[in-house]
Homo-oligomer: A and B are copies of this chain.
Amino acid sequence: MTLSARPLRLTTDQADFEPRFRERLHWSADTDAEVEQRVAAILADVQKRGDAAVLEYTRRFDGLDAASVGALELTPAELKAAFEALPADQREALQAAAARVRSYHEAQRRASGESWSYRDADGTLLGQKVTPLDRVGIYVPGGKAAYPSSVLMNAIPAHVAGVGEIIMVVPTPRGEKNPLVLAAAHVAGVSRAFTLGGAQAVAALAYGTATVPRVDKITGPGNAYVASAKRRVFGQVGIDMIAGPSEILVLADGSTPADWVAMDLFSQAEHDELAQSVLLCPDASYLDRVQAEIDRLLPQMPRAAIIAASLNGRGALIQTRNMEEACAISNRIAPEHLEIASSEPGRWEPLLRHAGAIFLGSYTSESLGDYCAGPNHVLPTSSTARFSSPLGVYDFQKRSSLIEVSESGAQTLGRIASVLAHGEGLQAHARAAEMRLKGGA
């Protein structure tokens, strides 16, 4: 059977554009009641029985039989050995990627993650102290979606933030370890690592067991069980986000080689069948050329079946009236990855308000950003770029407000606070302010 990939072809001036566009975009994170119930039971059990429960679920779900949770810990020596056993080009690529990711996140910390304060006219000090989290947990998926680059993208910002301890968990079904994941943990400087996965790993990190230390925040992607567990432990610990399928939106003015753009659409589609690749362009003939490149290149791809399923089920090539309209549609979608495949990317970038990451110009393929340009590849999906941000140093820091009111400041502020507190019927608040007034209250 010959595979074909035919993304939905639309033009914004067709009469039924709006409903067909909406239908194609629709994705619902409906939670499965059975998954919810099983996860709730696993969390409660790990909270109650600790290591014993973790061991039991690991045996049942990962087919991994261990005498103790301690036996599931990967030693630093083992991580290092995995790194050293890699071919030289992989070792060097991992290190080069890590260095660039580190340097970008250091710039991020300097730009937006430092403590600050000032004194006002009456000597009162105001500011914020920025401090790293004490201990974080990083969930790394195992099996078919085991991505060493995700280890770097989660652990390095935590490191740059100054987190004291970074605990990695990664499931190893039937004991199968991914050497690149272990090597990445070595390169990224993970503090401890356990071959645990699923809701039981999330529970161990959130509540702590005799062996697995309790963390303050859990980041990293996972399957439906992991997502449900993270949502449930939120509040007990911090979490990053609940990721949906990955998405790319390409805005093209026709100046980028059509095969480059076709391959960029593939690189999102190859993640999984639910991934979404959308191309917006005012030039119908360019859309034809991209479709022709899709047809030509698809048979060359080892993951052609996944790519075809994704493009046929969720992909779209949309002809817009002009680039301005393409930008407006992009803002409605708020895509995770947004490529401006244009000879004048700086012209369109200011029009783009919502996106996880913006890739400017023909040379900036999403895959360069995924691995090694420097910025984080953990990005908001499913339109959440309307209100959330790439994973960053700020996710591994928290802020404490600093207030030092001078004796003189207490006179001015005390009078204001007293009026407002009485207005709210909170007399102790008012009295506490009034007591600091000269002459007392």
Contacts and interface: CB of A to CB of B under 8 A. Distances in A.
A234 B269 CA distance: 27
A54 B366 CA distance: 43
A134 B401 contact: no
Contacts of A362: 436
A260 B431 CA distance: 9
Interface string A133-148: 1100000000000111
Contacts of A387: 133, 216-217, 237-238, 398
Interface string A208-250: 0000000011000000000000010011011000100000000
- Identical chains bound together, number: 2
B303 A427 contact: yes
Contacts of A69: none
A403 B359 contact: yes
B432 A365 contact: yes
A282 interface: no
Contact of A432 (B260, B392, B433): B260
Contacts of A118: 107
A68 interface: no
A289 interface: no
A250 to B, nearest CB: 11
A146 B242 CA distance: 33
B266 A432 contact: yes
Nearest to A352: B400
A216 B388 CA distance: 10
Most buried by B among A382, A387, A409: A387
Contacts of A127: 107
8 contacts: A107-B116, A133-B387, A134-B353, A134-B386, A216-B387, A307-B428, A364-B404, A371-B429
